[in-house]
Amino acid sequence: MLMREKKVKMLAETRGDKIFDIFINVIMGFILLIYIYPLIFIISASVSDPNTVLRGEMWLFPKGFTLMGYKHILQYKEIWTGYLNTIKIVLLGVPIAMSLTISAGYVLSRKEFKLRNLYMGIFVFTMFFNGGLIPTYLVIKQLNMLDTIWALILPNAITMYYVIIVRTYYNTNIPEELHEAGVIDGCSDIRFLTSVALPLAKPITAVMALFYMVDRWNMYFRPLIYLSDRKLYPLQLILREIVASSNMTPEMLEGFEPSEYAIMVQISNLMKYGVLIVASLPVLLIYPFVQKYFVQGIMIGALKG
Amino acid sequence: MNVRKTEQKTSAYSKVLSKGKKSYIGEVGRNIIEHWQLYLLITPTLIFFIVFNYLPMYGVQLAFKEFIHIKGIMGSPWVGLRNFERFFSGYNAWALIKNTLGISFYQILAGFPIPIIFALMLNEVLNKHYKKLVQLVSYAPHFISIVVVVGMLDIFFSQSNGFVNIILTKVFGLEKGIPFLVSNSWFKTMYVFSGVWQNAGYSAIIYIAALSGVDPQLVDSAIVDGASKIRRIWHIQIPTILPTAVILLILESGNIMKVGFEKVLLMQNPLNMQSSDIISTYVYRMGLLGSDFSFATAVDLFNSVVSCILLVFVNNFAKRVSSNSLW
């Protein structure tokens, strides 16, 4: 077969194709650039003298190295409460979301579950139509969940898209023979889930956990509308304030002498870069290791579901 | 192996139910008793959907009422279509609709083909390591938060000291730099293309997966027949991913009216409001910030209904043009 492949490869290389290949590689190089460059820029900017950045002198590597930005970020308390709150949201919210999603996905994948289509219909309908912003807000209010962490993790606990992915996975990866064998041995439905199906579904469980973690970590709008107590603000909310602000908040001025106020504006720019890095750091660090799981997850769900 | 095993597990109750008529209710009842654990497992999820998705639908009636806080939803008086009249006769109704639709269509026009093209090109890259690197790097932005993305936009495209404008003025000799972030004419473009930057790589994954299903023998015989790469792409790869693409297109069009609301909100400012205000942000401002509950609910309802109609329309259209559709 190798000879034939070699022959085919030789036939394949027409002149047009060679140009095509070069073209593709150049484009891919350009794409690499537009993704990597902003990251490098921001990292460098976060440790550079703000004036060099403003004047455009700094464009790749840091100029006028300074750690002032990060120093002030470390001192800025609200960032750290924000971090803490976000971590709380993830630790609390992800297990809840996971248990609901997996149980639903599992049950929906079982052929013995006669009302499958009915439940699917009820669930999927919500993907396209729901009460709307105000009515949902009113429900949350009536449940006394306003200004609590629950408003952030309960209403959106289940993403139907993920349930479908889980269901598809169980459908295609748990052979029916396994279940039949279990039934003969007197295995109950729940027992089957915990002892057989779940262990077999470790990959998809990991993927779901990652997806939900990212969703919870990046949450912005929900906290915006449901929280008014600043102590509960998650990271993204604080981040937004810093990045979008042209004014200083009192908290930012902590630890500064009045004579330093002029420098403050510069520092605030410096902080903007640093804070972007600080907020995205966990995600960016973990990402290279787990990205292949994300890819698997989508492929499973989207192709078959 | 056949069906007999389930019959061995029926309990006494279901035996009673199964005597006589084979009604559907009877069947379901039996199913519930026999597999009560499954029903139990899925009940929490059902409760969640009911409480947080279906219960709010009860509040939708506010759209047809005049909400008086003290009297609650039930006690507030009906006013028929007055909220809708108010919306449509307002000075900005048309602008809102125009912006919403405009941004959506632009997004689909630009944002839909790009992942496909990207996937097709990536598929042709010969060096495996290069390919993997580009993939890895292009998926990454999907996972950073929208706050960070908009923050990056501010940093790079600011008129006075954004890097892009610095290059434009210093290298290309432009006079003042382009007000990317505060001009009405640039809003849609900034919105759409930052979205493409963030999500194209991720969206391409599905297409890349689909492309891996192409029959290599088909490709080989095309090569032997003398087809150039471009012809091969046109005749083999594209038809392979067409079904997937159609379904995704339908799903996206269902979101037309719900244009990425968070991002618009973050990118909005008083200077570009004219072109950046969409129906959803209007609902947010009027309803939550302005506490005009019934009015906001009405506008939101209008938004959702139009979305639904569009979704059904596009689905049926797809059904006729190709053989793929959502239902």
Is residue A247 over pLDDT 70? no
Q: Same domain, yes or no, for A106 and A213?
A: yes
DSSP string, A237-276: HHHHHHHH-SS--GGGGTT--GGGHHHHHHHHHHHHHHHH
Q: Which residue of A has its CA nearest to B269?
A: A244
Strand partners, B65: B78
Is residue A255 over pLDDT 60? no
Q: B289: pLDDT confidence band, cut at 50, 70 and 90?
A: confident
Between residues A88 and A62, the one the model is more confident about: A88
Last-in-domain residue among A66, A89, A114: A66
Q: What is the pLDDT of residues A29-53, one digit of tens each?
A: 999 999 999 989 988 888 888 878 7
Q: What percent of chain A has pLDDT over 70?
A: 86
Rounded distance between C-alpha atoms, residue B327 and residue B78, angstroms: 36
Q: What is the pTM of this model?
A: 0.82
pLDDT score recorded for residue A1: 53
Is residue A262 over pLDDT 80? no
Q: Is B292 on the interface with A (CB under 8 A)?
A: no
**Domain presence at residue A273:** no
Residue A173: CATH number of its domain = 1.10.3720.10
Q: Same domain, yes or no, for A26 and A93?
A: no
Arithmetic mean of pLDDT, B186-198: 92
| Contact residues on chain A for B301, CB-CB shorter than 8 A | 132
Q: Is B255 helix (H, G, I), strand (E, B) or coil?
A: coil
pLDDT score recorded for residue B254: 64
pLDDT score recorded for residue A3: 63
**Domain presence at residue A246:** no
Is residue A85 over pLDDT 90? yes
Arithmetic mean of pLDDT, B129-157: 89
> Looking at CA atoms only, how far is residue B270 from chain A in angstroms?
14
> Looking at CA atoms only, how far is residue A247 from chain B in angstroms?
15
Contact check, Cβ <8 Å, A138/B307: no
Give residues 154 to 173 of B whose Cβ lies within 8 Å of A.
154-156, 161, 163, 166-167, 170
Q: Same domain, yes or no, for A89 and A57?
A: no
Nearest to A21 among B44, B126, B280 (CB): B126
Q: Same domain, yes or no, for A90 and A158?
A: yes
Residue (of A84, A92, A74, A90) closest to A233 by Cα position: A84
> Looking at CA atoms only, how far is residue B298 from chain A in angstroms?
10
Q: Same domain, yes or no, for A214 and A196?
A: yes
Contact check, Cβ <8 Å, A139/B52: yes
Q: Same domain, yes or no, for A48 and A171?
A: no
Q: Same domain, yes or no, for A210 and A95?
A: yes
Q: What is the pLDDT of residues B238-277, one digit of tens each?
A: 887 887 787 777 777 766 666 678 899 999 888 888 888 9
Average of per-residue pLDDT values in chain A? 82
Instruction: Tell me the residue range of the domain where A219 lies.
Output: 72-234+278-304
Nearest to B152 among A14, A217, A276 (CB): A276
Average of per-residue pLDDT values in chain B? 82
Q: Is B260 on the interface with A (CB under 8 A)?
A: no
Count the domains in chain A: 2
Contact check, Cβ <8 Å, A134/B134: no
pLDDT score recorded for residue B27: 81
Q: Which of A40, A89, A90, A134 would you mutate first to test chain B, the one with the most B CBs within 10 A? A: A134
Q: Give CATH superfamily name and number for B82-145+184-321.
A: MetI-like (1.10.3720.10)
Give residues 162 to 201 of A whose Cβ lies within 8 Å of B.
163, 177, 180, 183-184, 188-190, 193
pLDDT score recorded for residue A258: 61
Q: Same domain, yes or no, for A16 and A118?
A: no
Arithmetic mean of pLDDT, B205-232: 81
> Looking at CA atoms only, how far is residue B294 from chain A in angstroms?
8
Q: Is B65 helix (H, G, I), strand (E, B) or coil?
A: strand
Highest mean predicted confidence (pLDDT) among A220-224, B173-177, B224-228:
A220-224
Nearest to A119 among B42, B223, B280 (CB): B42
Domain layout of chain B by residue ranges: 4-66, 82-145+184-321
Q: B1: pLDDT confidence band, cut at 50, 70 and 90?
A: very low
| Contact residues on chain A for B249, CB-CB shorter than 8 A | none
Residue (of A120, A119, A103, A118) closest to A189 by Cα position: A103
Which of A19-28, A132-141, B228-237 is predicted with the least confidence, judged by mean pLDDT?
Answer: B228-237
Q: Which of B122, B229, B309 would you mutate first to test chain A, the one with the most A CBs within 10 A? A: B229
Contact check, Cβ <8 Å, A243/B147: yes
Nearest to B62 among A17, A134, A288 (CB): A134
pLDDT score recorded for residue A54: 75
pLDDT score recorded for residue A248: 47
Nearest to A132 among B27, B60, B140 (CB): B60
Q: Is A161 on the interface with B (CB under 8 A)?
A: no
Q: Is B291 on the interface with A (CB under 8 A)?
A: no
Arithmetic mean of pLDDT, A167-182: 83
| Contact residues on chain B for A299, CB-CB shorter than 8 A | 205-206, 209
Rounded distance between C-alpha atoms, residue A144 and residue A167, angstroms: 33
Q: Which amino acid is at B231?
A: R
Give residues 50 to 89 of B whose Cβ lies within 8 Å of A.
51-60, 62, 73
pLDDT score recorded for residue A101: 92
Q: Same domain, yes or no, for A163 and A286?
A: yes
| The token pair that represents B275 in the structure block | 């072109």
Q: Is A3 on the interface with B (CB under 8 A)?
A: no
Last-in-domain residue among A66, A100, A115: A66
Q: Is A25 on the interface with B (CB under 8 A)?
A: yes
> Looking at CA atoms only, how far is residue B91 from chain A in angstroms?
23
**Domain presence at residue A263:** no
Q: What is the pLDDT of residues B51-64, one digit of tens each?
A: 998 988 888 888 88
Last-in-domain residue among A66, A88, A104: A66
Contact check, Cβ <8 Å, A133/B287: yes
Is residue A287 over pLDDT 90? no
Q: Same domain, yes or no, for A52 and A92?
A: no
Which value does ipTM take for this structure? 0.83
Q: Same domain, yes or no, for A126 and A16?
A: no
Q: What is the pLDDT of residues B84-120, one digit of tens each?
A: 999 999 888 889 989 888 888 888 888 889 999 999 8
Contact check, Cβ <8 Å, B170/A221: no
Q: Same domain, yes or no, for A128 and A218?
A: yes
**Domain presence at residue A175:** yes
Contact check, Cβ <8 Å, A189/B145: no
Q: What is the pLDDT of residues A189-220, one digit of tens each?
A: 788 888 888 888 888 888 888 889 988 999 99
| The token pair that represents A53 in the structure block | 């950045």
pLDDT score recorded for residue A305: 45
